[in-house]
A and B are shown apart, each in its own frame.
Chain A
Amino acid sequence: MKSTLSVLVENHPGVLARVAGLFSRRGFNIDSLAVSTTDNPTISRMTIVVDGDEAVVEQVAKQLRKLVCVTKVLDITNEPHVERELVLIKVNADAQARGEIMQIADIFRAKIVDVGRRTLIIEVTGDKGKIDAIETALKPYGIKEMVRTGQIALVRGSRTAIINSKED
């Protein structure tokens, strides 16, 4: 089972190493991890997708909260939230295939961001389902390279993560 944790951390050097170290040391599986600063430059947000049952995810959240540099940990899996991931896909595209690929891109509201002699780079944004779908659709043409940002997410509505509290 995959869970999405939204984690606010102090924007200090070494914080990512602490979080990553925690996961490897305790044997937790990270599916994806995306990190960047927030509107508050002293705070960064990590969106971590964890693979594990309820007990594992609870333990992950508790261990994260223990880190002195972690401000808040929210498990947003079961809350209404928006999740997005951005992917760049470099796909084989000779003259014959090019038209079909551009149609597929259209259907997924993806963008062609680079045109090479024999390849196209497609940029697509969406949730995991959509990303998986376009990947499947493009596979027959031959995906040469692919990079994913990892999932980011925000809870819908006016609920926010308040920075000064560690309690949920």
Chain B
Amino acid sequence: MLTGGQILIECLKEEGVDTIFGYPGGAVLPIYDALYDADIRHILTRHEQGAAHAADGYARATGRVGVCLATSGPGATNLVTGIANAYMDSVPLVALTGQVPTGLLGKDSFQEADITGITMPITKHNYLVKDVADLPQIIKNAFHIAQTGRPGPVLIDLPRDVTASQAEYRKAKAPNLRSYKPVMAGARSQILKAVKLIAKAQRPVIYAGGGVVNSGGHEELRQLAEMLMAPVTTTLMGLGAFPGDHPLSLGMLGMHGARYANYAVYESDLLIAVGVRFDDRVTGKIESFAPEAKIIHIDIDAAEIGKNVPVDVPITGDVKTVLKQILKELKAHPNEAWKEKIEVWKKEYPLEYDTNNGLRPQAVIREIYHATKGKARVTTEVGQNQMWAAQYYTVTRPRSFITSGGLGTMGFGFPAAIGVQVGCPDEVVFDIAGDGSIQMNIQELATAVTYELPVNVAILNNGYLGMVRQWQELFYNRRYSYTELHNPDFVKIAEAYGAEGIRVENKADIRPALDQAIASSKPVLIDFIIEREENVMPMVPPGEAINKMLG
């Protein structure tokens, strides 16, 4: 006989879980008791939100399911932002929450929250376990749901009497989900239609997103691009799905995309949309997004196809599988003239910034790129720091640019970096942060120090909530309403936690600080005092067509 808590641990090991990010509390005492001598690593964060984001970062970097654990009530609700974040970005996550004993459910008991109700719209699925005998099958199903099809978070709510009670452990053999069957291969008729359209196209553009990363279809994507000589632009989530230093790469498109990327999409006659969802930050004014183009849309989630734009050839299926199917039918069809036109745009409208005066955030990002030889795992916070990172850190491989795309969660980057470092212990990890965002989960410095995780944080410190300030400057007549921040001394904070802190105020000091951080075995926080009113450019004003860019 085992306790429910011990059965849970056995089931997690069965799923190959080696690490859990969590925070204890009353309702999860039986689980923590089982964890005490289990051979699963538990990382104690300083806030449940940190645990959720760390599990998310771990999942994105490794491609495996991230697991976080919190107690009932406030513990569970503190996970909510992290779960919503994982849901919006399709990250495989299993969130375990404690719950009051089944007999006290629905009675507004101490630390009771209806977390399955609360998370219904932000999970792929969730479970409330009412009988310990159901536990193995539910865990099996949860992991299956989280990582197959379009990945996403699954929450399992565990009442304390369920994890405390004794039962025989019966292994669940396979998921038993008759209603859940993701489609992997694309319909052959659709593949042939796509191939026909591709053969006719003269100005094709590949628009690739996070679905390519999730499916592991980056190699197939590269082959497709090279066969057609088609330029590839990626979404924020798709950075790394195509090598950023490849001659066919256009970098990111959309609101803060490169001019040449947006121009290419605007003038294309065929848009091959791969693992993307036509998000408003990408399309701008939807009627003016690729107005001349036929659209092929490949996605594993049928509901994404035709959701925001009408599509000529919809293909529901796993990106990697479908791309393989297309490649098998396709003949090389290089579009030289188109490639040349794009080369001209690239020369005429490069991404550029003022390199002369002051400490520019873009220069910091470029230096991080050079100092890490482009091999770092980068996480970002949200706002200007995120967009500069996306524009100026050339991402060359999948799963190495980890950012909160859909939800736009400030405070994501640092705990995510901790999860990434746990998953990739031998790699250099950088969180590119702003002075606002970092303070949303700065307490996780204690976690990084405790577990000796040499995460590096580059704060681009302008004393503002920079992106909001930028919008106030551009669209609200410079009325900087509550966007100026009076910050603590970040170097001292780092030191107080037992991490290293470095302040950089001059261009010349960027590289030495970065080299010192990379060499250090401690977590290092670098406070870059940047030009205060630097803007992220170019920019498509909200609601405007993507070829109408400012800056």
Contact = CB atoms under 8 A, between A and B. Distances in A.
Interface of A: 9-10, 14, 17-18, 21-22, 25, 55, 58-59, 62-63, 65-71, 163-164, 166
Given A21-B121, A68-B124, A58 B306 contact: yes
Contacts of B120: 14, 17-18, 21
B116 A55 contact: no
B1 interface: no
A76 to B, nearest CB: 19
A69 B116 CA distance: 14
A163 B307 contact: no
A17 B121 CA distance: 10
Given A14-B116, A17-B120, A68 B179 contact: yes
18 contacts: A10-B179, A14-B120, A17-B117, A18-B120, A21-B120, A22-B121, A25-B121, A55-B306, A58-B306, A62-B305, A63-B303, A67-B125, A68-B125, A68-B145, A71-B179, A164-B178, A166-B179, A166-B181
7 smallest beta-carbon distances between A and B, as pairs: A62-B303, A71-B179, A68-B125, A68-B180, A62-B302, A63-B303, A25-B121
B306 A59 contact: yes
Contacts of B508: none
Interface string B439-477: 000000000000000000000000000000000000000
Interface string B115-134: 01100110011001000000
Most buried by A among B116, B128, B179, B306: B179
Contacts of A166: 179, 181
A55 B311 CA distance: 12
Contacts of B435: none
Given A17-B120, A18-B120, A25-B121, A69 B179 contact: yes
Most buried by A among B125, B180, B181, B306: B180
Contact of B301 (A17, A18, A66): A66
Contacts of B302: 62, 65-66
Nearest to B180: A68
Contacts of A164: 178
B177 interface: yes
B177 A68 contact: yes
Contacts of B180: 68
A163 B303 contact: no
A63 B305 CA distance: 11
B178 A66 contact: no
A71 B145 contact: no
Interface string B350-386: 0000000000000000000000000000000000000
Contacts of B121: 21-22, 25
Given A59-B306, A63-B303, 18 more contacts: A10-B179, A14-B116, A17-B117, A17-B120, A18-B120, A22-B121, A55-B306, A59-B307, A62-B302, A62-B303, A65-B303, A66-B302, A67-B125, A68-B125, A69-B125, A69-B179, A71-B178, A166-B181
